[in-house]
Each structure stands twice: as C-alpha cells, then as structure tokens.
Structure 1
Amino acid sequence: MNSTAVRGATIEYDDFGPSTGIPLLLIHGHPFDRTLWAPQVMPLTAAGYRVVTPDLRGYGRSSVTPGKVLLADFADDLAALLDHLGIERAVVCGVSMGGQITMEFQLRHPERVRALVLSDTSAPAETPEGRSFRNRLADRLLAEGMDGYAHEVIDKMLAAYNVTAMPDVAARVLKAMCATDPEGAAAALRGRAERPDYRDVLASVEAPVLIVVGADDVYTPVPEAEAIQRLVPHSTLVVIDRAGHLPGVEQPERFNAALLHFLATRL
C-alpha cells in the first residue's frame, strides 16, 4: 500500500505489476474501496499489465473531505495520481459510480485515456428524483452510519441469489460497505446528485471502449449498457450471466476473461 498527497487529500493506493506494463487504473464504486478489484489484480498482472487501484477520496484509507465531493474532484484526483506515478496514459476502468468517474475523466482528461472500461454504470444526468434521494441518503448516513444501509442494499449490489449462494462474497462486500466513513460516503452522494449528462462525451470517444454489465443488475440494468453501446458504435458490450451490479466480484472468471480479451485485441 502506498499514499500520496493530491489536491488537499491523502490518497492511498496499490500499484501492482511491472512498471513497464500497460497501466490500468481501476476505480471502485460507492460505498467501497480499492479491495473491490482484488479478484482482478492477479490475472491482470500475470498477463503483464500494471494495475493501479486507488481508494477514492473519502473511501477506504484515503482522507475524508466533508460536505460535497463532485465527480470532477475524483477525476482530477486520479489525474494527479497518474502524474505522481509518472503515467501519461492509462486504460481507465470504473464500476458503478466509478464508471461515472471514468466518464468524467474522459471529459476532463481525454489525452490521458488509452481505453475505457465501463462496468454497470449509467450515462444520463441525475434526475430531480435521484438528486433528492441521494441528498436524503447522505443525511441518513451521517445520522445513522453505514450498517443499516449496507444490509438493505446487499441484495441489489449482488444478485439476490448470489447473496445466498456466495456467502463469503456477500460477507466481504458487506464488510467493505460497513467500513466506509459515513462522512466520505455522504460527500460523494451529494456530489453525485449533481452528476451531468455524459452522453455527448461518450458519443465523441475515439478510444476503445468495453462495456460490461451483470445480466441481473437492478441498479443499472442491461438496457442502460445497451444505451451506452448505441452511443459508442465501436464499443464492445459483454453481459455477464449470473451476476448483478458487481460482476467482477460475483463472476470474476467471466469478467476477467472479457477484460483480458478486450485488452489483448483492442489496444
């Protein structure tokens, strides 16, 4: 584990694999940390890739910024981290909120993008109902902490049948959610409530794009992924069977196979 100061925050990260390998920046979603990508690290580094997994500001062991943290703040943090590591361009990969940060990174730092991987995410701007929900949830997390929320959403983060069939995976996901600092999670929720529309950004992407989605994702269902593919005609869409919102955790072998095939054939 490593840490660096960027833009007024301390960012903790891991940097795996050969320094000469093509770099991959893996961005976790809410309310997790960099360990969400643990099932991907060994297969990717074994294939010769350099894998950078940061804890976003307010998550994991990175420092917390109270109030509001915009997706733009996360994207700029990550660009600064790449600067610190001497990485000019990377394959930028994000799941859920991490996918939206990936789109924001493409908007703000397109020259740093070698390819995009968008897992279980959505491109349109936040709706008025969504803004209200996220702000109410931020208030709730600050008042109550993470445990009640985490137990309520575990069967949406994972497909409900996988919560039962994969108790060790469910326990690991629950532990990560419960360990998140409520103040960091709330700040991200308030920033995400102001999420812009990324469809024009995606429509102009020239880099290779992989879209991945769990077949039974209830947060960002398959039609959301298909909508992104229509915006990026040269993209590749892979639907992972027997998975919900976190296919990289629920079906890591299938997810990793799709990612490695994309990297081998499109870079």
Structure 2
Amino acid sequence: MEKNSIVLNGKKISYIEEGSGHAPTVLLLHGVPESSLLWKKIIPVIVSCGFSVIAPDLPGFGQSDPFDEPSTWERYEQFISDFTSEMKMDKFHLVVHDWGGLIGLKWACDFPEKILSLVISNTTISDGYQWHRLAQIWRTPGAGEEIMKRMSDWSQFQSGMKKSIPNVDDETLNDFFQVFRTAESSRVVLELYRSGNLEKVKTYNAKLTQMDQPVTIIWGEKDPYVPFEFALKLQNECLPHAKVHIIPNAGHFIQIEVPNEVNLYIQQHFKNT
C-alpha cells in the first residue's frame, strides 16, 4: 500500500490516504511496534463504505521521522492536533489500536467535538491496567536499553513477531521493525512507555462517559498484552452504549491476524454511522 508524506514541524511524516477527498474522514492510529500498514487489510473496507481514510505512521515509527524532543505520551497527543490541523481534518471518525488508543482516546476526551464515532481495539486508558512483562522491562532504565539491543536483531525480531502473527507479510514486518533498528530509533519506544503514567488518566474515564458518539469495541479473546476483560470494563464503566465484539482465538494484532472478522464489525459500524 503506497504512502504519501508531508513535512510537519520540520519532520517527515508518512501516511496512507485512500478514498474520495469529499467523503467523511476516518483517522486510524496504530500502536507499538506498528505502523500504518497495520491497517492494510482494513482500509479498503472502510473506503468501500463511502469514507476517506488517513492513517499516519506516528513519529519515529514506520517511515516517519522521530521528534527532536522526547517521544512522550503528551507529545504524541500534540502530534494528533498538529497533524489533523495540517490535513484540514475538522471532524472525523477515530479508529485506534494499542498505544494509538492511549494517545487517541485521551485526545478524543479533550476534543470530543471533533469526534464523529469511535472504533476501539486492544487498548485501554484504565488506571487499573497492569503493564505486561515486556512493557515493564521497557519502562525500567537499563533493562529496557539492554533488551532493545536484542530486539535490533532483524532475524530475532522476525521470528518473534511471526510467532505472534503467523500470517504477517514481509512488507508490514519490515515497517514494524524500523523503530527497533538502532539504539537511537528504539529510544522512541522507551520514552513513550516511560511516560505512560496511568495515574494521569483517572479523570479521563469520567470524560469518556460524556461521549455519546457511536462506539464499536473489537478485541481478540486471547490478547496477551491487554486482556479482553478491558473491553468489557470500557463498556461497563465508560461507554455503556458501545457495541462489543470479542473475536474467539484471536490475539493482539487482530487487524492482521483475523482481518475478515474485524472487517465484518468495521462494516457494521460504518454502515450505521
């Protein structure tokens, strides 16, 4: 899938844009260690529903340049403001996964007037979440840097990811690997995880309850990083009107693992909004 690029705040930002420029816009936000190619098999279905899609590589991921300053949670939220302003996206539908959700949902709570609907997958901004084992290592100074040395080995990264996502293609895998290539590039992940103080989001659950836009929540039943109970928690505590779909035997990277099932719920969402 071909990428475009713009220069934003002096940095190259790569993104995928598909669909008619006159159609309602959908912004897709990926997580770690991903890129816009996470959405490769999802984008055509959204476009077929009559929408225009924009999916950026977040700074430091895929083909986008990193920030000059630390890659913190707050800095990525500012990026969403800067990027959507540059792309002239006034109101849009928001689709998020993994860290794209921590960034995007927090941003949506601060700018609810810009959000037309939400599709949320395998992510949480709950302060009840416990970081998974690898995240805990990344959040630990010294240990995080040490494991990044091993993750910069392409063959090891490739074999590890293919255990998680057996059907991932080489183009996507190579794009995901970009953030791990060097000690400098991998700082993006370490800085982001170390800025992830979930105490910051206590007030955001209350803000989420104020959002009455259509919401669809899609999750893999066997997600080892964000258990599917957080899908139900999100609905029960914040978004009671959300439609929740738990996909059996699917893991974390559902957009690649089980795209047909994800697209079924994506179609339902966008045909009803």
Contact kept? 2:250, 2:258, Cα under 8 Å: yes
- Equivalent position of 1:110 in the other structure: 112
Partner deviation per Cα, 1:179-217 (whole Å, 9 max, x = no partner): 323233233222335673242232222211111101111
Query: How far apart, in 1, do the equivalents of 2:17 and 2:199 lie?
Result: 29
Select 2:14's aligned residue among 12, 18, 24.
Answer: 12
Query: Partner residue of 2:196?
Result: 192
What letter matches 2:119 in structure 1? V
* Uncovered stretches (5+) of structure 2, i.e. residues with no partner: 180-184
Deviations 1:24-64 (A, max 9, x none): 10111101111111001112212221000100011111111
Alignment-derived partner of residue 182 in structure 2: none
- Please state which structure has a larger fraction of its residues in helix: 1
Is 2:63–2:178's contact at 8 Å kept on the other side of the alignment?
A: no
Is structure 2 residue 63 aligned with structure 1 residue 65?
A: no
Quick check: 1:216–1:244 contact (8 Å CA) kept in 2?
Answer: yes
Correspondence for 2:256 among 249, 257, 260: 249
Post-superposition offset of 1:128: 8.4
Does structure 1 residue 179 correspond to structure 2 residue 183? no
Q: Is contact 2:117–2:213 with CA below 8 Å preserved after alignment? A: yes
Moved more, 204-213 or 58-67: 58-67
SS for the counterpart of 2:225 is coil
Identity of aligned residues (%): 21
Structure 2: how far apart are the matches of 1:85 and 1:66?
21
Question: Aligned residue for 2:31?
Answer: 29
What is the CA deviation profile of residues 134-175 of structure 1, one whole-angstrom value per residue up to 9, with x for unaligned ones? 3236423554443456654654x54xxxx3xx3xx2756643
CA distance in 2, matches of 1:193, 1:150: 30
What letter corresponds to residue 133 of structure 1 in structure 2? I
CA RMSD of aligned residues (A): 2.6
Q: Using a 3 Å threshold, how does the CA distance of structure 1 residues 21 and 27 change in structure 2: closer, same or farther?
A: same
Aligned equivalent of 2:139, options 123, 126, 135: 135
Structure 2 counterpart of 1:229, from 231, 235, 238: 235
**SS of 1:182 mapped into structure 2:** helix
Instruction: Kindly provide the amino acid, as one letter, of the partner of residue 269 in structure 2.
Output: F
Q: Which moved more, 1:61-70 or 1:202-211?
A: 61-70
Comparing 19-28 with 126-135, greater Cα deviation is found at 126-135
One-letter amino acid of the structure 2 residue matched with residue 57 of structure 1: P
8 Å contact kept, 1:28–1:36: yes
Shift of 1:77: 1.1
CA distance in structure 2 between the partners assigned to 1:241 and 1:143 by the alignment: 35
Kept in 2, the 8 Å contact 1:150–1:177? The answer is: no
SS in 1 for 2:40: helix
What is the alpha-carbon distance in structure 2 between the residues aligned to residue 129 and residue 88 of structure 1? 34
Are residue 146 (structure 1) and residue 148 (structure 2) matched?
no
Match of 1:239 among 232, 243, 246: 246
- Structure 2 residue aligned with 1:209: 215
Q: Distance in 1 between matches of 2:128 and 2:248?
A: 28
Give the 3 Å change call, closer, same or farther, for CA 128–208 of structure 1 in structure 2.
Answer: closer
CA contact (8 A) 1:89 1:111 kept: yes
Q: Using the alignment, how far apart are the partners of 1:216 and 1:9 within structure 2?
A: 37
Shift of 1:251: 0.9
- 8 A Cα contact 2:220 2:254, kept in partner: yes
Whether the 8 Å contact between 2:37 and 2:172 is mirrored in structure 1 is no
What is the CA-CA distance between 1:106 and the residue it aligns to?
A: 1.1
SS at match of 2:42: helix
Map of 1:91 onto structure 2: 93
Structure 2 match to 1:262: 269
CA contact (8 A) 1:32 1:60 kept: yes
The 1:244/1:81 distance shift into structure 2, 3 A limit, reads same
